[in-house]
Amino acid sequence: MLQFIYSQLIRLLLPFILLRLWWQGRQAPELRRNWQQRLGFIPRISGTVVWVHAVSVGETIAAAPMVRRLLARSPGITILMTAMTDTGLTQAMKMFGDQVQYAYAPYDTPGSIRRFLNRANPKILVIMETEIWPNMIRQSRSRRVPVFLINARLSERSARGYERVKGLVAPIMRSISWVAAQADKDAERFRRIGVAASKVAVTGSVKFDVDIPETVREASQKLKVSFASRPVWVAGSTHEGEDAQILAAHRQLLNDHPDALLILVPRHPERFEPVAGKVTKLKFSLARRSLDEDPSGAEVYLGDTMGELMMLYGAGDVAFVGGSLIERGGHNPLEPAGWGISVISGPHVFNFETIYQRLLDDRGVTMVEGADELYRRLLVLFNDADEREASGQRALSVVSKNRGALDRVVDGIIERI
C-alpha cells in the first residue's frame, strides 16, 4: 500500500517537476536537452548491458575506476551510465567519450521506469552510494535484474529517517541483491533498515582506489609549470556560504605571501557567474579558466569549467575541500589526497565520515572552523615546506593503504554478468 501511495504521489508531482525543469532551462538550456529520457524514452540498447547509476558529479567520478576496470575485464559488455544531473552526464562524457552510452536517469514513476527498462534491458543495475528509488529497484528485481548498491554509505541521520518509513523502505531493501558497504557502521545501518545480513559486505570505499589518468596528470603538470614558483592553493567544490570565508582567508594570506594564488572551483555551474562577481566586488584580481585568461597576474583563478577539478587539484600545493564549512556534509577529500598534497577541510563532513576518520587517524587532513583558522593553517603550510610535503604524503599514504575495494566490487559484479 505504501508503495502504491508513493507511486501515485510521484505521478501527481511529475507535471510540476517537468515545469521546474523547463523553468530552470531558461538559464541552463542543457537541462532541456534530452528531457524525454527522464520519462524513460531512451534509444534501445542491445547486448549485455550493465546499467551504472550515479546521481551527480561526485558519484560519477567515484564510478570511473570501476567502469574502466569492467571494460578492461569484460570488453564485450555495454556500460550505460545514467545521472540525475546534466553536470553528472557531462563529467561522464568527459571521462569516457564513446566508450560507454549515456542517458538521464528516469524519474521514479512506474511508467518511466518501465519504459526505460524495456529499452535498456540491463543485465545488472549498479547504483553508486545510496540512491534508493523504490520503483527503479522494485521493477528491476521483478525482471530478475540484480541490484547492487556499490560504495554504499548511510549516515546515522539518514538511517533514522528511513526507519521512520520502514514500511516503505524495508520491501525495497529486500529487493537489493548486494550492498558493498564502505564501513562496518554503514553495513549495520543497512541491516537496520531491512537488508538481509547475508547480502551486506564491507568492501571499503572504492574512492580510495583513486585513478588519475595520464592525460589528467599531463594537463595538471602543464598548468602547474605556468604558475612558476607561486604558492598555490585550491578551494574545490565550494558552496554558497563558503566563498566569503575562503576569500577572507586568502586576503590574509596575501599579506604574508603577496604572490599567492587561489584556484576557486564552485561545485555547481550556476554559481560560476555569482562567484566571479563576488571576487571582483572584493577587489581581487581575477582570471577565469573558461575564458582562457592568463592567471599569471591574478590573485584568484576561477575554475569555472566542468570536469576539471581533479586536474586543478594536481596543480596546487594545498587543497581545501568544500561543502564542509557549512552543513552540507563535505565532498571527497581523496581527490586531492591522491595527488599527495596537503588537505584542509571544515568540520561538517558527515557525508564522508569514514574516509575523514581514516585521514584524521593518520593526520592526513587538518580540520578548520572559519576564515581565521583556514588562514592560519595555510600560513603554516606555505611557511614550512617540510610540513607541507609531510602532510601531503600522510594523506597519500592513507589512500595507498586502503586500496583494494575496487577489486572486490568488480569481482562481485563480474560474477553476476
Is 4 in contact with 168 (CB distance < 8 Å)? no
Is 59 catalytic? The answer is yes
What is the spatial distance between Cα 358 and Cα 363, in angstroms, rounded to a whole number?
Answer: 9
C-alpha distances (whole Å) from 199 to each of 68, 153, 173, 289 are 25, 15, 10, 46
| Tally of residues, the chain | 417
| Residue corresponding to grid cell 576557486 | 264
Phi/psi of residue 262, each to 5°? -105, 125
Distance of CA 159 to the CA centre of its chain: 20
Of residues 59, 131, 299, 308, which has the active-site annotation? 59
Catalytic site positions = 59
